[in-house]
Amino acid sequence: MKFGLSVGFVVTKPWDAMSESRVFHQAVEVVELADELGFDSVWSVEHHFLEEYSHMSAPDMFFAYCAARTKQIRFGHGIYLMLPNINHPARVAERIATLDILSNGRVELGTGRSATWTELGGFLVEPDDTKEMWEESTRAVVKMWTSDEFSIKGRHFSMPPRNVLPKPVQQPHPPLWVAVQSPETAVLAGEKGIGMLGVTLGGIPKYADLIADYRRAAREAEPIGLTINNQVRAQGQLFCHPDADYAKKMVGKPEDQLAGPLSSYLMTMGSTYPSPAYHAHSLGSGAAFRPPLGADQVGKLVGTPDEVARAVEDWQELGVDALNIGVGGRWSTHEENLESMRLFAREVMPAFADAPVTTA
């Protein structure tokens, strides 16, 4: 079982002149500590125009800074928006390859297409086209990395023959992932040989069906890249503390965590802009999005090291290869989050080193 960190860059109001700076530099401290403690990777979102919920619009720049300050931790985009209006595929290929070179081959490319009208509308992206945009762009990036000349006359972008430089150092290319919230995307990921990057926060009951769909489709994968990545990464929230009652009290009720930034901006196309491309993404109605891991949910990563370890075992039995763990929230301080990471790394992670994964 591998353990990664997930950073989201929430900047809650009221703001002062240093609000964003504090959040960004605290995230750097989290990455540096994760590198020291042996976490395998750190994953960053890409969002645009979402006040409070996430102010991270340039994850590749953040990762480049972190790469210079770390030794072994990998850098996962969770996710890079593969829409030409937002990120031209040639620029994606160039930026990821540059980061791969500077980090000595420590990049994972998680891909996706956004789920909010605030973002898509800001770049004048047609929601119904985003599935095709994602696939056309992702295929193009792989070809740019692995050929000396690339050209395309596509439906969503075109370019004349060019050698897109530089090339990544990982061979044949950095691992590919796709964000999965719905059964349709789980099947798509499996069919195309792409790692499943679970971004739903619904706990084990929500993931069970998605993983089953993914594993079933992956048996006959026709990879979009030159290799198959058949791993599953799940998303959880961590608060590890010696006092179980304190930990649960600090995390509080799941609905409290949805207040403010999250409830304001996580609206899907299904609820705000009717579109067949997003018919399974009912974040607003709760069909695909569930409250973060709470006190009554299986697989919660909240409590003492023993309690958290049992939760990790639940995830492992489900067939998860890795957990991307969010640290902190509205309930805890930065110092408490760092101490939670240290306790988790000291008391929980060693028990899962090189442990086999069930892939039922």
Q: Is residue 6 part of a domain?
A: yes
Residue 40 has pLDDT above 60, yes or no: yes
| Residue 68 maps to a domain | yes
Q: Does a structural domain hold residue 203? A: yes
- Is residue 289 over pLDDT 60? no
The parent domain of residue 270 ranges over 2-352
Q: How confident is the model at residue 291 (pLDDT cuts 50, 70, 90)?
A: very low
pLDDT of residue 306: 97
Confidence of residue 294 (pLDDT cuts 50, 70, 90): very low
* Reported confidence tier of residue 279, pLDDT bands at 50, 70, 90: low
Query: What is the rounded distance in angstroms from the CA atom of residue 38 to the CA atom of residue 168?
Result: 24
Domain total of the chain? 1
CATH number of the domain within which 136 lies: 3.20.20.30
Residue 67 lies in a domain: yes
Taken in order 145, 146, 149, 155, the sign of the CA dihedral is: negative
360 within a domain of the structure (yes/no): no
The pLDDT score that the predictor gives to residue 226 is 96
User: Is 357 part of any domain?
Assistant: no
- In whole angstroms, what is the distance from residue 79 CA to residue 33 CA? 22
With a cut of 50, say whether residue 293 has pLDDT above it: no
pLDDT of res. 60: 96
Give SS3 for 92.
Answer: helix
71 belongs to a structural domain: yes
pLDDT > 70? residue 360:
no
Residue 150 domain-assigned?
yes
Residue 123 tokens, joined: 């770049």
Provide the pLDDT confidence category of residue 248 given band limits of 50, 70 and 90: confident
The first and second tokens of residue 261, run together, are 């930034």
DSSP per residue, 5-54: EEE----PSSP-TTHHHHHHHHHHHHHHHHHHHT--EEEE----S-TTT-
Q: What percentage of the chain reaches a pLDDT higher than 70?
A: 84
Q: Over range 257-279, report the average pLDDT.
A: 53
Q: Mean pLDDT across the stretch 42-54?
A: 96
Residue with structure tokens 């000595």?
104
Q: Average per-residue pLDDT in the chain?
A: 88
